[in-house]
Amino acid sequence: MDRKEKIIELAKQRGIIRPRDVEAAGIPREYLLRLYRNGELVRVGRGLYAMPETLTSESISLAEVSKRVPTAVICLISALQFHDLTTQITNRVWIAIENKKWKPVIEYPPIELVRLTGKAFNFGIEQHEVNRVQVKVYSPAKTVADCFKFRNKIGLDIALEALRETWKSRKASMDELWEAAKVCRVANVIRPYLEAIT
């Protein structure tokens, strides 16, 4: 297998590759640029390349952000969109990072950042494969709890819609919603709304 074939195989396996992935495979990064210039790979962001046919517009932003910030978790409106739990459309990728981590600098796609600590950060993380990239997304129950936690940032109407849609679609049980609410310390806020939908 020649160097170009190895790079294409790497892109097929990983979905999105970076120059350092190519160099780690013992191939000079110039070969990556040649494939890009020939149209065999597309640039999905600065320093990020993929096979043209593997990308979809809905998920490319999540995959790109996850590749750039592997410790981040997709949250709030972006997680609601991922789980099909909202009518909201956002042109930003909402991510959560641990409180003391550095703020990532990403030119594109635009991000909205929230900071969480301890159990509130680690609870409810699901691993999903998006365009062959591992993406961390909060579960539906955790996402609903976060929406109530950050209701002043995203709006109470979005939090209420998220709760209704999650319950209606059976993507989370009452126990899961209640547990997430306790972890996120919004149990007292969410209690009347949980009682109203049951």
Q: pLDDT at residue 82 above 60?
A: yes
* Structural domain total, the chain: 2
CB 93 within 8 A of CB 73: no
The domain boundary residue, chosen from 33, 54, 75: 54
The answer, yes or no, to whether residue 13 has pLDDT greater than 90, is no
State yes or no: pLDDT of 49 exceeds 60: yes
The conformational region for residue 183 under phi > 0 = left, psi -120 to 50 = alpha, else beta, is alpha
Contact 69, 97 (CB under 8 A): yes
pLDDT reported for residue 132: 77
Per-residue pLDDT, 55? 58
In this predicted structure, the answer to whether residue 170 has a pLDDT above a threshold of 80 is yes
Whether 32 and 114 share a structural domain: no
Summarised one tens digit per residue, pLDDT across range 113-169 is 999 999 999 999 999 988 778 999 999 999 999 999 999 999 999 999 999 999 999
pLDDT at 39: 87
Please name the residues in contact with 132: beta carbons below 8 A apart, sequence gap of 6 or more: 12, 13, 14, 15, 16, 54
Look up residue 45 and give its DSSP letter.
E
Write out the H or E segment, with its range, that includes residue 189: helix 187-197
Select from 38, 54, 70 the last residue of a domain: 54
Beta bridge partner(s), residue 124: none
Query: Positive or negative, the Cα torsion across 63, 12, 10, 127?
Result: positive
Domain boundary among 54, 74, 89: 54
Q: Are residues 73 and 121 in the same domain?
A: yes
pLDDT, mean of residues 48-64: 76
The pLDDT assigned to 118 comes to: 92
Residues 152 and 128 reside in one and the same domain: yes
Q: How far is CA 145 from the centre of its chain?
A: 17
Rounded distance between C-alpha atoms, residue 168 and residue 139, angstroms? 16
Residues 117 and 35 in one domain: no
More confident residue, 137 or 46: 137
Whether residues 50 and 61 share a domain: the answer is no
Residues 37 and 125 in one domain: no
50 plus 15 within the same structural domain: yes
Domain boundaries, position 34: 3-54
Name the band, by pLDDT with cuts 50, 70 and 90, for residue 57: low
Amino acid at 102: W
39 and 68 together in one domain: no
> What's the CA gap between 115 and 40, in Å, rounded?
38
Specify the range with the lowest mean pLDDT, choosing from 8-12, 41-45, 146-150. Answer: 41-45
pLDDT of residue 109: 82
What is the average pLDDT score of the chain?
Answer: 90
Average pLDDT over residues 63-72: 90
CATH for 44:
1.10.10
